[in-house]
Amino acid sequence: MSWDIYIQDLPDVPSINDVPATHRPQPIGERSYIIAKIKEAVPFAEEQDRDWLFIRQPGYDISLQLHIEGVDTVRYVVAHVHGGDQSAVCVAAIVRTLGLRAHDTETGELFDGSSLDESL
């Protein structure tokens, strides 16, 4: 089973339903900064090309898609989780390291991984 988590500029609200309709997410940073922070959280993340990173090891199966606007500005990152029993922990580490919020499309709610074992 595959699911997606959108890592983006979201306000500090308790539920995705509390995000104001007027909220317009801002870009989250420059490409080089975002990639460096992802690799800080997950050193074994591998760049595939300009806008994809892959995390594939035992327990992890994730592709990260950087949505770039302009030359190098990242608007948001989508974590495509393809499987792996530790993938949610990995995504939670990325979200925390970036200091952002995330929207889990499987549950329809915010994702922070706070209930997960945090060790990679």
Per-residue tokens: 10: 């979201």
Architecture of domain 3-12+25-110: 2-Layer Sandwich (3.30)
Domain ranges of the chain: 3-12+25-110
Q: What DSSP string describes 58-112?
A: TTEEEEEEEEEETTTEEEEEEEEEEE-TTHHHHHHHHHHHHT-EEEETTTTEE--
Q: What pLDDT shows up at residue 30?
A: 98
Q: What pLDDT shows up at residue 2?
A: 81
Q: What pLDDT shows up at residue 36?
A: 98
CB 61 within 8 A of CB 55: yes
- List per-residue pLDDT tens for the chain, 120 residues long: 689 999 999 999 999 999 999 999 999 999 999 999 999 999 999 999 999 999 999 999 999 999 999 999 999 999 999 999 999 999 999 999 999 999 999 889 999 766 555 555
Q: What are phi and psi of 103, to 5 degrees?
A: -115, 120
Whole-structure pTM value: 0.91
